[in-house]
Structure formats: C-alpha cells, structure tokens
Structure 1
C-alpha cells in the first residue's frame, strides 16, 4: 500500500507541474488539474474494487470514459477481450484515455452530436508471448488538422504511456478523425 501511495503522489506531482507550467493562468489550469485528478481516482477505484492491484481493461476503459458520455451510450463503442492490466499500466492508460476524450469533446468527434469514438483492443500473437494492441479512433467529427504544437495531453499519451507500457504509442491527426495506436508487450499480472 505504501508503494502505491508513493506512486500516486509522484504522478499527482508530475501532473501538477505539467498543468500549471506555461502561459495559462493558474485559475484557468485548475479545472484541468482537478479533472486529471478525478481520472486518477476512477482508475484507483477499478484497481481497488476487488482487492487486486490490477484492473480489468474493459472496466478501466468504461470508467475512464464515463464522464464524457453525456448520458449517451452510443458516443463510445468499446470492444476487446477480457484482459487484466497491472496497476501502473492501468493508471497511465486511464490518464491517456481521459486526455484523448477531453480533446475529442473540445475539438474532435465528441464535439458533434453524431460523432463517436471506437476504442478496441486485441492481442497480436508473436514469438515473445504476444503484444497488446489498443486503438482509439474518432469518427463523425469535424475535419482534423494537425496542431502546430503538441500540448501536455499529447505528450502524456505518446511518451508517458509508451514508457509505462514499455511499448509504442502514436497519435495520428487523420482528416477523418484522430487515431491513437498503442502497442505494448502483453502485460503480466501476478495472481
């Protein structure tokens, strides 16, 4: 438990530094900071819900996206096999999903009534035990233009998530919608 608390506090500190750094006044950054903390809390709920230090991937995805549904279950299509993620991977993925959903709500598919997001995952067999593949794909939103500079959310998703999962993460700003592809070695969960 002590290790989990230390990890969580380190993550909160990192998010605070990244959120409050830059040109935005502290008052404008505070709501973003609080939403990011809530995303961590939702991930922790999934981790501690059954006494395990791992999380069911489907439940983690559903909880991370719940605040962005706006009561409409059609806004997200979630597909994938049952799979458990270790604590650190689950927390990093929940934060990444929160950032992707926030951006989709502001600028992407979720900014339009008929837009939706497909989140799917599968295991790709390979010689070393398999690779977890996760895809976020926005559909039905406004035409996408690649941003002039990448913000904290993109950095969190691409660098921090890839590092935590020991894999690769790429966000593509395709005209039809943002696509995020994550590839990582199949996680090993104790127990």
Structure 2
C-alpha cells in the first residue's frame, strides 16, 4: 500500500506549502490555507512573493533561505521571521513565523521542489515581548548585580596581583604612564610614587639603559619583549646608589577591541640571587678544574722525573696523551658545570686533541644526547685510545683508511640505552692481538661492567668497537 502523501499532509496540524524551483506555489495543505486565510485556487500557480507580498528585512531573510536551498540542495531553517499576512479588510496582520525549507530533488539530483513547513509563533512572540516589558526593572536590577559582581571580581583580581610574589605593573597610553603597580614592583623600585607618572618621570635612571626605547618599540609593533636575566642598574632606596640587578621579565602589549595597542603589561621576577649563585658556583667549578689540571700536571711531572733514566720515551708520550684526553673531558664538563655533557661534543673534543675532528677520513653521526660526568670521562678515554691505535696501526695509518663513528639511543624500562660504534675500513690487514694491552682493558672495563658491554672485533673488513650501555 502506497501512502497518499497529499492526504496525509492535508490532515497534518502543521502548515505546509509546496513550491517549484521558480518559487511558484504548487500546493498547500488545509492548515497552511487556514493560517494564511487563503484559498488554494487563489494562490496556486502564483509566485510566493506575489501571493504574499513583503519587503525589507522579511523579504531578504526569506528569499535568502530559499536561494540557499536551490543552490546547495540542503535543508535551511529560519528560526524567527516577521512576515505580515493580508487580512480580509485589505490591511495586514502582524505575524511571526519559524520556517523550515526542505529540498526535493529529481532523478538527476537537481532541486525540483521545495517544501516549506511553517509554524506561527506570533503568540509566543507577543508573550515574550510582554515578558520583556514587564521585566525591564528586573533586568536593570540584574545588570546592577552583574556590575557589582564584576566590580567585586576586579577588586579580588587587584588583591591577587597586589600579593603576587613577582612584580606586576600596567602602563597606559603611548607615554607609558603607570596605571597600576603591585607591592613587589613598588619594592623593586624603592617604594617610589608611580601611579599617573610616566616611566621616564618615575624611573629616570632606566632611560639611558634603553628600556624606554624598548617600551616604545613594543607599543609601536605590538610584539612582546622578553628580558632574560637582563642587567638593570636600579635605585632601590630614595637616597641610595644605583644597584646592579638581574631581572627576568616580559613587556606584553595590551590590545583594545579594534586590535590597536592601548597599553603594556609588565610581569617578571628578580633573578639577581640566582645569577649571583650561579656565578659563585661557576667560580668554584673553575677553581676545581684548575686544581685538577694542576694535579694532572704534577702527576705528569712525577712520571717524567721517575722514569728519566729509563728508556721509555714512547711510554711517557702515551701517558701524557692520556692525561691530555682526561683534561679535555674535564674542560668540557666544567663548561657544563659538571652536570651533563653532550656525547657528540665529548667525541669531537677528544678527536680534536688527537687527529682533528674535521679530518675527511673520519665521519661522525648521532643525535644530541646528554650523558652524566662519569660516563663522559670514560668515553673520552675510550675514544682517545681508539684514535691513538687507529693512527699507529689502524685505518688512519694510511691515506685510504676511513673511520665512521655512530651512536644512537632508545628509551627502555631501565633507562636510556646507548649504542656506540667505532668502525674502521680500508686500513692495513687486521689481526687480533695475542695479548690484551692497556687500551683494550680500559675500553672493556670502562663500559663492560654493570648495565653495559664493550666488544672489540678484529674482522677481515676492519676493526670495530661496539659499546652498549644503559645510562
């Protein structure tokens, strides 16, 4: 059984009208004819805007919705539209509608018909307007309450900024006048009177230091400025001398609704104690490194004095080179405050002291990787031994020889697993030594204990050293 959709829609309590692609009325159900007070014969075949004339915003709103349906083939809705209906006396009754326009396409997918479903919301609109008229006083009271709440929130925000541990200030206008400054900022500048004054008037000592120029640039460009522990000479008491300070801060532009800069927000903290502590630590570390170097020099001198009468010049030379490699590792760690060192930097520094890390016969590749001081020193000694042996017996003893140094890292449950490979090619024929020398023992003991392994391979292709360690 095929439903009779015309009869079905005719029985619906909702108004429906069917339009063709040219917006001419094809059919309307009884409810539509009832709410519009028209007969089907009277409006059938007429253009919708001819049958129900309209102008202004109502016309534009309805026409735009129907055009969108024709162009896109998608349903379009109008939540609220005023569309007056002619009455029997030739005048117009005010009506408000909610409309849904549904496209009906042909076999080619082209919009053929449009079904308009309208709901008369005039009574709802009248009730809404009546409620609005009756609620003017309530709205006024609500606005007053919201203003009071906003004022309370503003007061709370000012209190929070006032108590903030970092310094905060707000500058308004192009002249950079202080609008607000919290307790930390006032303490920073020696309790001077700020509000209403320009930065140059309140803090004249910073003009020559270029900070007013920086504020001008932030205001003109709308780009923030970040101060990274910048040195500032500031008068922190009314009659005091200028004191050296180091400040971390930002000059953040404040934009109005049109996108123009209307002020600058200043926020930061005093990093003077941090900088002084780091300088002191750096001094101690440098002193420690100086003493280590002196100790190494004493050890080298004792060795030379102790074995002066013995024919061991070559051994002393090797011993001195090992001390130099150790000193180079200490220098690198000193630069890093004995915290961590980059694995690549350790390798390049050690090679530079032996064969120069820019030697075309040597290729180095691997990611940035921070390692702790102990494995950094061990790695430096290992690379020194490998480079020394390569110069004497391995690939670097010939012009054709080549060395590739590679490393990689992966995160495991135990930590960061590092794989290091020293590979020699095109050198002299490789033979496994009968006995283990100091260099071999140093390599295997340096990384062959705990969560690590060191393997020396003497293959026909060339010598290889593989080191794996969990750091």
Match of 2:355 in 1: 69
> How far off its partner does 1:129 sit?
3.4
Note if contact 2:457-2:464 (Cα within 8 Å) is conserved in structure 1.
yes
Residue matched to 2:463: 178
**Residue 168 in structure 1 maps to residue 447 in structure 2:** no
Q: Which residue of 2 aligns with 1:151?
A: 437
CA contact (8 A) 1:109 1:142 kept: yes
Output aligned runs, 1:128-143, within 5 Å: 128-143=414-429
RMSD: 3.0
Displacement, 1:184? 0.6
Determine the structure 1 residue equivalent to 2:137: none
Structure with bigger RCO (C-alpha 8 Å, 6+ apart): 1
Return the offset for 1:69: 2.9
Cα separation, partners in 2 of 1:72 and 1:122, compared to 1, 3 Å = closer
Q: Please give the residue correspondences for 1:88-167 in structure 2 after superposition, counting only pairs within 5 Å.
A: 88-163=374-449, 166-167=451-452
Shift of 1:85: 1.1
Distance 1:88 1:128, change over 3 A: closer
Verify the 8 A CA contact 2:409 2:418 in the aligned structure 1.
yes
Is contact 1:134–1:181 with CA below 8 Å preserved after alignment? yes
> How far apart are residue 72 of structure 1 and its match?
5.1
Contact kept, 8 Å, 1:136 with 1:180, in 2: the verdict is yes
More helix per residue: 1 or 2?
Answer: 1
Cα contact 2:355–2:387 (8 A) shared by 1? no
The alignment status of 1:43 with 2:329, answered yes or no, reads yes
- Counterparts of 1:107 and 1:76, CA distance in 2: 16
The one of 330, 345, 353 aligned to 1:59: 345
Aligned length: 177
Distance 2:320 2:414 in 1: 40
Task: Describe the SS at the equivalent of 1:157.
Answer: helix
Offset of 1:119 from its aligned partner?
0.8
Q: 1:87 & 1:70 partners in 2: Cα distance?
A: 23
Q: List runs of 5+ in structure 2 lacking aligned partners.
A: 1-284
Call closer, same or farther: CA 1:72–1:132 in 2, change over 3 Å. closer
| Richer in strand (by share) | 2
Which residue is equivalent to 1:86?
Answer: 372
Supply the distance in 2 between the matched residues of 1:51 and 1:33 (Cα, whole angstroms): 27
Q: Following the alignment from structure 2 to structure 1, what is the Cα–Cα distance between the partners of residues 397 and 359?
A: 15
Unaligned runs of 5+ in 1: none
Q: Secondary structure of 1:132's match?
A: strand
Alpha-carbon contact 1:96-1:161 (below 8 Å) kept: no
What is the distance in 2 between the residues matched to 1:71 and 1:183? 23
CA distance 1:35–1:25, change in 2 (3 Å): same
- Is 1:26 matched up with 2:317? no
Question: What displacement does 1:135 show?
Answer: 0.5
Larger CA Rg, structure 1 vs 2: 2
What is the alpha-carbon distance in structure 1 between the residues aligned to residue 408 and residue 422 of structure 2? 12
Alignment TM-score, normalising by the size of structure 2 = 0.34
